[in-house]
Chain A
Amino acid sequence: MPPELDIIWRNIDYLLWGRLAQGELGGLLLSVVIALASGVLALCVGIALAILAWFSTGPVRRVLFLWADLIRGIPLIFVIFWVYFLVPALFGGNIPGTVSVILALAWFTSAAVMYSTLSGLQALSGGQREAALSTGLSEIQTLVWVLLPQALINLVPSYVSLFASLIKDTSLAFIVNVPELTMVASQVNNRTQLYPTTIFLFTAAMYFVLCGGLSLLVRRLMRRPVTASWD
């Protein structure tokens, strides 16, 4: 076996699931878990905020947008740093590294979800809302039963691309030594030294397979085709 393949082969279990046997998630599996957990959180919080923004006017709406713009205006790596280091110092207690990365990613992504969802709602024809109201539905019923179901379906491609970004953003967890794929790959690289190209190409391929697989899956699930980025 050529040494390049051998180095991947000898470390494949560590790269894929880290120290799972010792009860510690790691590697690609941890990247997926972080992405899923923060994705679900961001989706719930983001949609909730969009609903709030949909109904609110004046100061509440302005605060919401200020909040979203503030987060979008800060590099994600800083958000991760602050959550990891400053939150425990301010409020005591000890948040595990993985949890602080999930919170930081969810916080960051929820702002993007809020913007997307709101624009999805606004993109619907105004007649939809007027027709629903004229049948006697309340504003809330109109949103929940008429507008949101249509908007959410239209928004799937946008959510998928946010989730693909989120998967790639999990690699920033290496800055606080959370053993996700990028971190374990650099640990292996730092021990073996000679094969950075192989190790990091392999790592990149893993991310690509993950994001590409996601696109394919969604395309299959959706009746309406979701165009993959390489089509």
Chain B
Amino acid sequence: MFRKIPHIIAAAFLFVSGAAQADQLGDIRKAGVLRVAVFDSNPPFGFVDEKTHALEGYDIDFAKAFAEKIGVKLELVPTNPANRIPVLQSGKADLIVADLTITPERGKVVAFSTPYFVTGQQFLVTTDAPGKLEDYAKARIGAVKGTTGEQAAKARFPEARVLSYDDIPLAFAALRNGSVQAITQDAEILAGLLAEAPDKSKYKILPELLSRELIGVAIKKDEKALLTEVNTILSDLENNGQAEKIFEQWFGAKSKAPGARNFKIGAP
């Protein structure tokens, strides 16, 4: 039920926010603060560190870089998958840097930057379960509310029963107790999830990709100056090697969720 609420609210904003257009980049500079919507429960993109209690992750590092390059302070606005877009639309955040897949449907309500992350969606299943995606065409599949994974699983396997959970650890708990036969999310999230799981030997990730996902920064529509600034910063980060460094930290060989960086920002 709750996942419908953000959509209803989003529809309400279309009436409310109307034509009010301003130069958001100017406003950010004037206020001296960049407010970025990020995850607090989605390692390695955004999570609360056990020791420092601070938000950390791949998305957080990009958020820090944006604030630093614009030359303002950073304010992180923690949110969850279903609330991401409403948080931007209600003006509580200037940017969404929360593992948001670029889709045409979302493109109708927000503007996307060039992708700063590229991934594919996979299945996490128990070790003794079948190894092909097609074997799950009629299975019970766990996904996260308000994610593209939820949509893609329904589209690809119309006969499967897709159950939606608030976040990926909750979906994993459902897999653990047998409520679902598989859970689906972006490859890196599943790898990170499995790496952290103390019972990882009982699970495996299927190599086949359900979909290819481009992850972008979202901003309000028609904020050309801010969009240009974000894209410029992203290509600067790529050119000076900082983007690769951030990737290395969270997805490199020494990280908990190792993966190959098979993309370059600006040239996907």
Residues on A facing B (Cβ under 8 Å) = 10-11, 14, 18-19, 21-22, 77-78, 81, 84-86, 88-90, 92, 94, 175-177, 179, 184, 186-194, 196
Number of interface residues of B (CB under 8 A): 37
The complex places the Cα of A194 from the Cα of B200 at a distance, in Å, of: 11
Q: Do B83 and A10 touch (CB < 8 A)?
A: no
Q: Do A191 and B54 touch (CB < 8 A)?
A: no
Whether A191 touches B92, Cβ cut-off 8 Å, given contacts A81-B9, A177-B79, is no
Whether A89 touches B91, Cβ cut-off 8 Å, given contacts A77-B2, A187-B47, is yes
Which chain A residues lie closer than 8 Å to B168 at the CB level?
Answer: 190
Which chain B residues lie closer than 8 Å to A88 at the CB level?
Answer: 90-92
B105: Cβ under 8 A from any A Cβ: no
Which chain A residues lie closer than 8 Å to B209 at the CB level?
Answer: none
Neighbour of A89 across the interface among B2, B50, B80, B90, CB < 8 A: B90
Show 27 residue pairs from A and B whose CB-CB distance is below 8 angstroms, ordered by the A residue.
A10-B50, A11-B50, A14-B50, A14-B53, A19-B53, A19-B54, A22-B54, A77-B2, A81-B9, A84-B90, A86-B9, A86-B16, A89-B12, A89-B13, A92-B91, A94-B91, A176-B83, A184-B48, A186-B41, A190-B43, A190-B47, A191-B48, A191-B196, A193-B173, A193-B198, A194-B199, A196-B173
Chain B 157-177, CB-CB to A under 8 Å as 1, else 0, gives 000000000011110110000
B146: Cβ under 8 A from any A Cβ: no
Q: Do A191 and B50 touch (CB < 8 A)?
A: yes
Neighbour of A190 across the interface among B5, B41, B83, B90, CB < 8 A: B41
Whether A78 touches B90, Cβ cut-off 8 Å, given contacts A89-B16, A190-B41, A191-B43, is no
Tell me the nearest residue of chain A to B193, going by C-beta: A193
Which chain B residues lie closer than 8 Å to A191 at the CB level?
Answer: 41, 43, 47-48, 50, 196
The complex places the Cα of A127 from the Cα of B53 at a distance, in Å, of: 61
The complex places the Cα of A88 from the Cα of B20 at a distance, in Å, of: 14
* Contacts beyond the supplied A85-B87, A88-B91: 8 A-B pairs with Cβ under 8 Å: A14-B53, A22-B54, A86-B90, A89-B13, A89-B17, A179-B78, A190-B42, A190-B47
Interface of B is mostly: mixed
Looking at the assembled complex, report how far the CB atom of A4 sits from the nearest CB atom of chain B, in whole angstroms.
12
The complex places the Cα of A176 from the Cα of B83 at a distance, in Å, of: 8
Tell me the nearest residue of chain B to A13, going by C-beta: B53
Which chain A residues lie closer than 8 Å to B173 at the CB level?
Answer: 193, 196
Q: Do A190 and B169 touch (CB < 8 A)?
A: yes
B40: Cβ under 8 A from any A Cβ: yes
Q: Do A89 and B89 touch (CB < 8 A)?
A: yes
The list of the 8 closest CB pairs from A to B, nearest first, reads: A190-B41, A190-B169, A177-B78, A85-B90, A89-B90, A187-B48, A19-B53, A89-B16
The complex places the Cα of A88 from the Cα of B90 at a distance, in Å, of: 7
Q: Do A90 and B16 touch (CB < 8 A)?
A: yes
Looking at the assembled complex, report how far the CB atom of B9 sits from the nearest CB atom of chain A, in whole angstroms.
5
B216: Cβ under 8 A from any A Cβ: no
The complex places the Cα of A179 from the Cα of B168 at a distance, in Å, of: 19
Q: Do B5 and A78 touch (CB < 8 A)?
A: yes
Which chain B residues lie closer than 8 Å to A77 at the CB level?
Answer: 2
Q: Do B41 and A187 touch (CB < 8 A)?
A: yes
The complex places the Cα of A196 from the Cα of B196 at a distance, in Å, of: 15
Tell me the nearest residue of chain A to B5, going by C-beta: A81
Which chain A residues lie closer than 8 Å to B2 at the CB level?
Answer: 77, 175
Chain B 71-89, CB-CB to A under 8 Å as 1, else 0, gives 0000000111001001101
Which chain A residues lie closer than 8 Å to B5 at the CB level?
Answer: 78, 81
